[in-house]
A = this chain, B = another copy of it.
């Protein structure tokens, strides 16, 4: 039997999953490669960090997703390099893996922008271990405060979050609520009102990609929750328990979260592909890589543009649509049809600031905020979560948290 056309998809994120699913029934064998054995629902990472959800609620075993798609094989491994001319990848633990078509959806990683001390002292929020590490660290600071209250003067319970995008805003709100509603009851002898959440944003408003009116509403809500929002400020350098801003201010803080930006995974460069700003792989209008019509780059790792040449944002809907598009191009080429340009259909953007409060900017100029924004956010995320079990678990946790103001996942496990 002749070997079928083999498509290798790198990355089980939103883009890679969608590409793999879109190849269902196509006359190809798909190999989905990821360093982890699960798909991670990144938008809810901040809830794991703030003890609202369990790690397992937002991760789904990659193999389980494709039980009923017979042309998919999942490989847990790290891609380390490629020979694009021989159409061969290097995968840790597996050796060479040949392909006929390749879809690169390797995602993004935290960008420290070279700020001194960030790599050593800051927590990121890009993967499950990041979120668990941050949760454990913050809870440990509170346990320490119970034993040594004097350390509050040293910033023991101060969390500085750098970056006022959705991640920074959602985490700030989540932590402020965790402190105010749950930990204040857990630690009766600690003056939890002295626990600070400080959000540092370089520009003059939070949630930069949103309309200014929604940014203003988010800012008001954050301040209501007790988050200290510092606008127009940047971080100069970081020590273990101190954050130095460029304006000369120093904040004593035992916890620093770096949510100031991302850059594309280093995989583009490792594969020998042409990368542009922030390491994003340069692609043609059909998402293929210049000179390699059999290689596609999708999602956060790719520098896809819209019709006017404007770089598309690094958002889940972009990755999902690009994944499906790449799969369709592969099938088109197999059938001898020409490829077509990628058109992103705007799905809007959303962020939640806390209990009963969110902002949503939907297509058609629809802006939602407050309770309506929150409900829209809630519904969309539940629908997007893959698999009944996770959805049900998340619902149980959210319901419990909402009714009781509790956070059941505030465990320190190591």
B144 touches A408 (CB 8 A): no
In angstroms, how far is the closest chain B Cβ from the Cβ of A176?
Answer: 19
Q: Which residues of A from 367 to 400 have beta carbons under 8 Å from B?
A: 387-390, 392-393, 396-397, 400
Asked whether any CB of chain B lies closer than 8 Å to the CB of A143, the reply is yes
CB distance from A412 to the nearest CB of B (A): 5
- Find chain B residues with CB under 8 A from A56 CB: 54-56, 408-409, 411
Is the C-beta of A37 less than 8 angstroms from some C-beta in chain B? Answer: yes
Judge whether A408 and B390 touch: CB under 8 Å: yes
Taken together, the copies of this chain in the complex come to 2
Nearest Cβ in chain B — how far from A313, in angstroms? 28
A74 to B189, CA, bound (A): 10
Contact across chains for B387 and A392 when beta carbons are under 8 A apart? no
* Contact yes or no, B389 A64, CB < 8 A: no
Distance from A154 Cβ to chain B, minimum over Cβ atoms (Å):
16
CB-CB contacts of A29-66 with B at 8 A, as 1s and 0s? 00000001110000000000000001111011101100
With A64-B406, A406-B389: A59-B185 Cβ-Cβ less than 8 Å: no
**Among B67, B76, B139, B147, which residue has its beta carbon within 8 angstroms of that of A77?**
B147
B389, A396: Cβ atoms under 8 Å? yes
Interface residues of A (CB under 8 A from B): 36-38, 54-57, 59-61, 63-64, 67, 73-77, 93-94, 128-129, 132, 139, 143-144, 146-147, 182, 185-189, 387-390, 392-393, 396-397, 400, 406, 408-414
A61 and B414 in contact, given A393-B396, A397-B393 (Cβ under 8 angstroms): no
Chain B: CB-nearest residue to A406:
B64
Q: Which residue of B lies closest to A57 (CB)?
A: B54
- Candidates B74, B132, B387; contact of A408 at CB < 8 Å: B387
Greatest chain B CB density within 10 A among A128, A182, A186 is at A186
**A149 CB, nearest partner CB in chain B, Å:** 12
- Going nearest first, the 10 A-B pairs with the smallest beta carbon separation are A63-B186, A54-B56, A389-B408, A76-B143, A389-B400, A392-B396, A94-B147, A37-B412, A38-B411, A54-B54
A128 to B94 CA separation, bound complex (whole angstroms): 31
27 chain-A/chain-B pairs, Cβ below 8 angstroms: A37-B139, A37-B412, A38-B411, A38-B412, A54-B55, A55-B411, A55-B413, A56-B409, A56-B411, A59-B413, A60-B408, A61-B186, A61-B408, A61-B410, A63-B185, A63-B186, A63-B187, A74-B146, A76-B143, A76-B146, A93-B147, A128-B413, A387-B408, A388-B400, A389-B406, A392-B396, A393-B396
B393–A93 CB distance below 8 A: no
Q: What separation, in Å, do the CA atoms of A37 and B414 have in the docked complex? A: 11
Q: Tell me the complex Cα distance, A359–B24, Å.
A: 45
Q: State how many angstroms separate the Cβ of A41 from the closest Cβ of chain B.
A: 12
Hey, which chain B residues are within 8 Å of A38, CB to CB?
Answer: 411-412
* A61 touching B411, Cβ below 8 Å: yes
Taking a contact as CB atoms under 8 Å apart, the answer to whether A400 and B392 are in contact is yes
Q: Which B residues touch A188, using CB under 8 A?
A: 73
Chain B residues, Cβ within 8 Å of A139: 37
* Complex Cα gap A59–B397 (Å): 14
- Knowing A60-B408, A73-B189, A400-B388, the reply to whether A414 touches B147 (Cβ < 8 A) is no
